[in-house]
Copies of this chain bind each other. A is one copy, B any other.
């Protein structure tokens, strides 16, 4: 069960409201790199967690933290919109630079939300929940979480660069920090479960008899003119410790030329196809 306390997890201050930066910040709320995504992803993973219950607890605790991130970011968007022009007269009173900024603002911050945050990204595209990755496999889920936090910290760093408002920089430095921790805590779960070697290949419960292992450890060079890019993946022991990496170049297809024959009657095809 969830509870709420009235203060924000972190302080939000905007020294110079900027409607264009409000639009940018939306990416951190409703973008695929944003907080709605991680809050919901950890929440749904927690609800489906099987095995040692401490991972369920951990997921739910951080899901709860991410809800608090949505909250202070939402406040930051509203503060950045404080002085946005609401009438043609107000807008006309401004200089060309302000015009440019309004051209780069999200019009729905005025038309739809009345100067507050929306669950959309920086293009105004609403977040959709297909981005909540929760497979029931703790290895796959932890990787999805590190990925989300990596994307999140890349975004927060770019937002930090795109503003020179001291309040916004301070808030973003907190987000950058929490993303640092969250990247590591999900990787730490993998480490605790025996490390990447033990986790791979995910799922590690697939019986080897279900796998055509003769195809499991070669890098396939599908290029007609490029040499194989040599690296850790072309030779040496595989990362799961089960085999050796190798390379296949200029391979012949292993399958047939596909042919579906004629169309069946009543299938809605043209007569010529039957």
Contact = CB atoms under 8 A, between A and B. Distances in A.
B123 A106 contact: yes
Given A7-B257, A61-B223, A255-B7, A127 B125 contact: no
Contact of A150 (B48, B139, B215, B216): B139
A97 B80 CA distance: 23
Contacts of A78: 47-48, 260
B185 A136 contact: no
Number of this chain's copies in the assembly equals 6
Nearest to A176: B211
A173 B3 contact: no
Interface in A19-63: 20, 23-24, 27, 30-33, 36, 40, 43-44, 47-55, 57-58, 60-63
Interface string A161-192: 11110000110111011111101110111011
Contact of A272 (B49, B150, B193, B263): B193
Nearest to A68: B1
A126 B41 CA distance: 13
Contacts of A170: 212
A50 B261 contact: yes
Contacts of A147: 133, 140, 143-144, 146-147
13 contacts: A1-B5, A8-B254, A31-B111, A75-B258, A87-B266, A112-B155, A126-B132, A135-B154, A136-B263, A140-B150, A184-B238, A185-B233, A188-B239
